[in-house]
Structure 1
């Protein structure tokens, strides 16, 4: 372990991170660039005293878990994380990336749900797969670049976001989304696209920044979703979530009660789609 080089590396990276990039206010009293030591310690889940000792080249050799936490707090790239482990005399852990391959059984399930819009999300809220009826609600994503198939971007770019946040059900969904992204950042330290998405949303959406700074841990519950569809009018359905634990993915289903007006509207949309494909 090279304590002096490790201390210098931590100092240089701490001074490089802007507070806004990790959901902290810039504040008028900052005399130096970057984060304060206590902020890094809080973000990494360690005591300030321990982190100060690391920066002063007086600390013990940090564990792999501590190094991973510091990598997330300082928004290190994959190469920088490897260098951090090298300076600490630790073996670089295997890369941790979210799975994007959807199981065949789940794809078959989507195709069989002819009256229920359904799609699959990964830990970053990228849409990985969808069925035919979901196109009526999330659009034909086959024409959209993969980088733009992201529910978080859609949500925080929406012009009526403020209206959604005043609705109890919609607000709960938005808070859950932010909480899930925070979990994804911690769970997949080697996926640079997740912190890049968070940084983008922090830069572009004050609403996201406020929710990110709250450090909420949301509880997943089924939601009631209401919308005014441009073709069939008002629809109300239960937004249900089925987890795929071995992939850290989830199936989102828009389920309407059989015989309800919303269920009939779903069937009508399916018929419209069928006619379009056979025309």
Structure 2
């Protein structure tokens, strides 16, 4: 149970302007992390008698290579500028784990310069869900449009996805460079324009990452259409909508698609395609039967 003093501090921290609240929360968080670490844990000698547990402010400043006065102001919730590099040094000095580090940068309203470790989001349970959704097409992809897994129906939606090399299984790359995919997308210009807009929005969090820059470079060299759309600097998102595909085996398919995020951050998502009319429903059944007959891998790429 919280003490009256702690309750009053919580009420106080939740009042005022948002930036003031954030600074107070940041100051309290830093104090709590500092007080739980002993000098021995960070390789410092325990010199002198300590009235309070944990590190002193000057010791944290030493570990982070910042001025003592500046760090004191930070813990006093003063309105000062804090760079991501300094926050990184403080996080290392205080031995913050991944969740604590995320919380620190969120409170400071700053972007973490270190790449975030990614947890596998296409779990065996997700693969089972996609299999159980058959005959409906379903695919798991990240926000860079890398195709991570798919069920058998999706594997035949554009032709034969299994025949494409795993390193080339990127929906946007295929949409702009693969003749079969280009023919299958009925509303080609609108569909690719939305893909590029969503990709550019997502890339704002990954502008320095080699995999993202490499994909853009590859597309710019391979597709004048992508080059033209990329220069427009359009941004956007879409969680659901409609798409039409001219499948080479069963004909026109009209779907409503829905995106379901597979992690706490909007990164990896599972996209499902529901028939928008009875004719599509019948043709999807036929496409699924073809996929089963052709022996498409039920769990997608390995």
Q: Higher mean Cα deviation, 123-132 or 198-207?
A: 198-207
Hey, what does 1:75 align to over in structure 2?
A: none
Deviation at 1:165, TM superposition (A): 9.7
Query: C-alpha separation between the residues in 2 aligned to 1:160 and 1:119?
Result: 18
Q: Structure 1 unaligned runs (5+)?
A: 1-60, 66-91
For residue 241 of structure 1, give the secondary structure of its aligned residue in structure 2.
Answer: strand
Query: C-alpha separation between the residues in 2 aligned to 1:154 and 1:160?
Result: 9
Partner deviation per Cα, 1:37-89 (whole Å, 9 max, x = no partner): xxxxxxxxxxxxxxxxxxxxxxxx99338xxxxxxxxxxxxxxxxxxxxxxxx
Hey, what does 2:234 align to over in structure 1?
A: 216
Deviation at 1:139, TM superposition (A): 4.6
For residue 122 of structure 2, give the secondary structure of its aligned residue in structure 1.
Answer: coil
Deviation at 1:199, TM superposition (A): 1.4
Query: C-alpha separation between the residues in 2 aligned to 1:271 and 1:164?
Result: 19
Q: Higher mean Cα deviation, 119-128 or 199-208?
A: 199-208
Deviation at 1:120, TM superposition (A): 0.6
Hey, what does 2:281 align to over in structure 1?
A: 263
Hey, what does 1:181 align to over in structure 2?
A: 199
Partner deviation per Cα, 1:169-220 (whole Å, 9 max, x = no partner): x433322221232233331355311111111212222222222222212131
Q: In the alignment, which of 182, 190, 206 is matched to residue 172 of structure 1?
A: 190
Deviation at 1:156, TM superposition (A): 1.3
Partner deviation per Cα, 1:210-244 (whole Å, 9 max, x = no partner): 22222212131533222332222222222322222
Return the TM-score normalized by structure 2: 0.53
Q: Higher mean Cα deviation, 132-141 or 147-156?
A: 132-141
Return the TM-score normalized by structure 1: 0.57
Q: In the alignment, which of 268, 271, 291 is matched to residue 273 of structure 1?
A: 291
Partner deviation per Cα, 1:78-136 (whole Å, 9 max, x = no partner): xxxxxxxxxxxxxx942236655413332221010112011011121000000111111
Deviation at 1:276, TM superposition (A): 4.4
Contact 1:242 1:252 survives alignment (8 Å): yes
Alignment partner of 1:110 is 2:130: yes
Match runs of 1:197-236 below 5 Å: 197-236=215-254
Contact 2:242 2:256 survives alignment (8 Å): yes
Rg larger for: 2
Contact 1:117 1:254 survives alignment (8 Å): yes
Contact 1:98 1:188 survives alignment (8 Å): no
| RMSD after superposition | 3.7
Deviation at 1:160, TM superposition (A): 8.6
Say if 1:273 and 1:147 are closer, same or farther in 2 by CA, change over 3 A: closer
Hey, what does 1:250 align to over in structure 2?
A: 269
Find runs of 4+ consecutive structure 1 residues off by over 6 angstroms.
160-166
Deviation at 1:256, TM superposition (A): 0.6
For residue 133 of structure 1, give the secondary structure of its aligned residue in structure 2.
Answer: helix
Q: In the alignment, which of 148, 156, 161 is matched to residue 128 of structure 1?
A: 148
Q: Structure 2 unaligned runs (5+)?
A: 1-80, 86-111, 296-302
Hey, what does 1:137 align to over in structure 2?
A: 157
Query: C-alpha separation between the residues in 1 aligned to 2:182 and 2:158?
Result: 20
Q: What is the total number of aligned residue pairs between the two structures? A: 193
